[in-house]
Amino acid sequence: MDFERIKADIQEISQIATSVPEAFQEKCFEVLLRALLGRTSSGDDGEQSDKGQEPPSHRLHLKPAIRAFMMRQGITEDELAQVVMPDEDGDVLFIRKPSGGKVATAQIEWSLLLALRSVIRGDGLEMDPREVRAMCDKEKCYDAGNFSTVYRRPSNAKLFKGPVRSDGEPQSLSAEGEKQLAGLIRQLATGAPV
């Protein structure tokens, strides 16, 4: 067993855990440590030694719709695991979030991330404007006066299959929206500023 590598891995997961919101740091560290311990006990190759075992609890159960999106966009499970993780109730928590910047940009990024959460939960790859408003309000990037206007801009409108209205129905991502979401996942997974 390579103790120096394990030590380096623990330092790395500690850094990752401190990069998430404080409320999730302990859980994030715990999940990542369990993943590390599971990997090292199975021979350091990430493969489980018993093929009949359940998947590790730190991994999301990926349904066909999310797997299809990942295949279309070339997103790996490791990249996804750097951005989201399951909570105890089986819901999806964001490990990494948009770093801020312009309110309009944050709103679109949250729209894409909430579409990701929707498809992981087993719904379509779609965003619900009410859910986006609630998340933007929570993350202090909600602009009530311009919320709907952001979606009417041509560069943003093309990300969705239909027009997004403030209290309207959920809208599926277009092919361009899927591409934009994949780019956002990669940025967040690498820790690059968004």
Q: Helix (H, G, I), strand (E, B), or coil: what is residue 146?
A: coil
Token pair 């929206």 in the structure block, residue: 177
Q: Which of 171, 158, 159, 99 is nearest to 131 (CA)?
A: 171
Q: From CA 132, how far away is CA 112, in angstroms rounded? A: 9
Q: How many domains does the chain have?
A: 2
Residues 85 and 162 both lie in one domain? yes
Q: Are residues 25 and 106 in the same domain?
A: no
Contact 62, 77 (CB under 8 A): yes
Range of the domain at 159: 64-190
- What does the pLDDT look like over 80-132, one tens digit per residue? 999 998 877 778 889 888 876 789 999 999 999 999 999 998 889 999 999 99
* 56, part of any domain: no
Q: What is the pLDDT of residues 134-153, one digit of tens each?
A: 999 999 888 888 899 999 99
Is residue 58 in some structural domain? no
Q: Give yes or no: residues 182 and 151 share one domain.
A: yes
- pLDDT of 55: 41
pLDDT at 3: 66
